[in-house]
Amino acid sequence: NAGVTQTPKFRILKIGQSMTLQCAQDMNHNYMYWYRQDPGMGLKLIYYSVGAGITDKGEVPNGYNVSRSTTEDFPLRLELAAPSQTSVYFCASTKRGGADEKLFFGSGTQLSVL
């Protein structure tokens, strides 16, 4: 198993541009998450999904959108990028989401908005 795969690893955007961060998992996990990690800070939940076709907002959803058309994929869309979205983005997944199972994280996407 590849686990959780994120692309791209690095990206520089200009203010106002848009992009999609890709996330895929091959572990048949039903719960998937997007976190952002600002320098020297903890992880903030952006969006999450409990299964295909179902998504919900986390703590910091403004400026982002997600979709979950399949169990494997959970892309994060940034519309009209702003400097405040400069961060490292982690996608994660877990099997049942029963709150007692570990999160498997992707390797992260480092995004700079200039």
Partner 1 sequence: GENVEQHPSTLSVQEGDSAVIKCTYSDSASNYFPWYKQELGKRPQLIIDIRSNVGEKKDQRIAVTLNKTAKHFSLHITETQPEDSAVYFCAASITNAGNMLTFGGGTRLMVKP
What is the binding site for partner 1 (CB under 8 A)? 31, 40-45, 48, 50, 56, 58-59, 90, 94, 97-103, 105-108
List, as one string, the DSSP characters of the chain.
---EEEE-SEEEE-TT--EEEEEEE-S--SEEEEEEE-TT--EEEEEEEEETTEEEE-S--TTEEE--SSSSB--EEE-S--GGG-EEEEEEEESS--SSSPPEE---EEEEE-
The CB-of-102 to partner 1 minimum distance in angstroms stands at 4
Which residue number, 4 or 78, has a Cβ lying nearer to partner 1?
Answer: 4
The CB-of-38 to partner 1 minimum distance in angstroms stands at 10
The CB-of-28 to partner 1 minimum distance in angstroms stands at 16
